[in-house]
């Protein structure tokens, strides 16, 4: 059960950040989907829902998604549906159900740094940047690799650069966490090959990317890239699958996602 002693509806980001960093035991609330799963006591809950942190907007070649935007809004928004080969809606569709996706937020998803996350894998392939209130902009891949000081996620920024991307995952049942998820993107400066739920956090396979950049994408190199990704990244065991199983299915998912990009191009 979740127990909250004090509740603050923040009237500014500065107030939220000051409380988070000065009041021991304070916690920022996103959609509370994950927070409420645990048994914990929150001394001060900081509610961001009154701040202008919700919505999807475009400016100067960048798409910005506010931290309090729900996954369902991202899934159904015309902009995210039409960009990047529709990879974001694809990565969100299997998360439990519409009701949950209508509550949980992209800010909570990013701040949680969940290793099993589907959208985080897609966002790394899109070279997302996280805008933090105190620290400023940080590349999502760096943010995921660190356990930084407490901060508030304000928004996610994505380049509107015409890249083509695709997502694939394997699940034991339709709405379970992914056993493995993969996102790939073809950008002007090369490929992104990202694997999450390994069960570690989403990570780029940079050596496999370099090989694909060198040889170009076709049926043969898509298969070879899958093999190289599985060789390069670490895979482990958890309740859903063994590391050996993950390593075995990784090439298939990478090849499928790359083939989608190949056909879309
Ligand atoms: C039952 C269940 C099943 C799920 N299955 C999947 C799945 O299959 N695939 C998948 O990808 N995801 C899955 N998720 C995760 C979900 O998609 C969200 O990523 C998760 O719920 C966090 O979002 P939230 O809005 O609920 O965050 P919360 O639970 O409110 O917060 C999560 C963490 O982020 C912090 N936080 C929230 N907002 C901010 C902010 N703006 N700035 C700084 N810190 C912040 C909180 O303090 C907390 O530590 C599942 C979640 C649940 C509850």
**Ligand 1 center–CA 108 separation, angstroms:** 4
**Ligand 1 center–CA 38 separation, angstroms:** 12
Q: What is the mean pLDDT of residues 216-220?
A: 98
For the chain, give every domain's residue range: 2-47, 56-159, 164-264
Q: What is the mean pLDDT of residues 247-256?
A: 98
**Ligand 1 center–CA 9 separation, angstroms:** 19
Q: What is the mean pLDDT of residues 123-144?
A: 98
Look at residue 242 in the predicted model and tell me its pLDDT: 98
Whether residue 147 is predicted with pLDDT greater than 90 in this model: the reply is no
Whether residue 2 is predicted with pLDDT greater than 90 in this model: the reply is no
**Ligand 1 center–CA 210 separation, angstroms:** 33
Tell me which fold the domain 56-159 belongs to.
3.30.465
Q: What's the pLDDT tens digit per position in 70-108?
A: 999 999 999 999 999 999 999 999 999 999 999 999 999
Q: What's the pLDDT tens digit per position in 175-188?
A: 999 999 999 999 99
Residue 94's contacts (CB-CB under 8 Å, 6 or more residues apart) are: 118, 169, 171, 174, 175, 178
Q: What's the pLDDT tens digit per position in 29-72?
A: 999 999 988 788 999 999 999 999 999 999 889 999 999 999 99
112 lines ligand 1 (CB under 6 A): yes
109 lines ligand 1 (CB under 6 A): yes
User: Confidence band (pLDDT; 50, 70, 90) for 171?
Assistant: very high
Pick the CATH number of 164-264 from 3.30.390.50, 2.60.15.10, 3.40.50.970, 3.40.718.10: 3.30.390.50
Whether residue 126 is predicted with pLDDT greater than 90 in this model: the reply is yes
Query: Which atom of ligand 1 is closest in space to residue 177's alpha carbon?
Result: 8
**Among residues of the chain, what percentage have pLDDT more than 70?**
100
Q: What is the mean pLDDT of residues 141-148?
A: 92
Whether residue 167 is predicted with pLDDT greater than 90 in this model: the reply is yes
Q: 108, 148, 154, 180: which to mutate for ligand 1, most atoms within 8 A of CB?
A: 108
Whether residue 24 is predicted with pLDDT greater than 90 in this model: the reply is yes
Look at residue 60 in the predicted model and tell me its pLDDT: 84
Q: What is the mean pLDDT of residues 145-173?
A: 95
What is the average pLDDT score of the chain?
97
Look at residue 10 in the predicted model and tell me its pLDDT: 98
Look at residue 148 in the predicted model and tell me its pLDDT: 83
33 lines ligand 1 (CB under 6 A): yes
**Ligand 1 center–CA 208 separation, angstroms:** 30
């Amino acid at each position: 059960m979740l127990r909250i002693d004090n509740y603050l509806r923040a009237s500014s980001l500065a107030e939220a950040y000051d409380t988070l960093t000065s009041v021991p035991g304070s916690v920022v609330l996103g959609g509370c989907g994950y927070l409420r799963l645990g048994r914990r006591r929150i001394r001060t809950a900081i509610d961001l829902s009154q701040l202008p942190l919700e919505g999807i907007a475009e400016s100067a070649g960048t798409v910005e998604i506010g931290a309090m935007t729900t996954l369902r809004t991202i899934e159904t928004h015309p902009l995210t549906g039409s960009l990047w080969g529709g990879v974001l809606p694809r990565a969100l569709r299997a998360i439990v159900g519409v009701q949950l996706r209508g509550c949980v937020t992209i800010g909570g998803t990013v701040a949680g740094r969940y290793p099993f996350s589907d959208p985080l894998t897609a966002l790394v392939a899109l070279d997302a940047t996280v805008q933090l209130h105190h620290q400023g902009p940080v590349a999502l891949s760096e943010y995921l690799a660190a356990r930084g000081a407490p901060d508030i996620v304000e928004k996610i920024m994505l380049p509107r650069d015409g890249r083509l991307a695709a997502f694939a995952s394997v699940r034991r049942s339709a709405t379970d966490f992914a056993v493995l998820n993969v996102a790939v993107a073809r950008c002007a400066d090369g490929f992104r090959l990202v694997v999450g739920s390994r069960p570690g956090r989403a990570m780029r396979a940079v050596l496999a990317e370099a090989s694909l950049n060198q040889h170009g994408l076709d049926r043969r190199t898509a298969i070879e890239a899958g093999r190289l990704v599985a060789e390069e990244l670490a895979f482990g065991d958890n309740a859903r699958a063994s590391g050996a199983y993950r390593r075995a299915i990784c090439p298939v998912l990478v090849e499928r996602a790359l083939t989608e990009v190949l056909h879309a191009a």
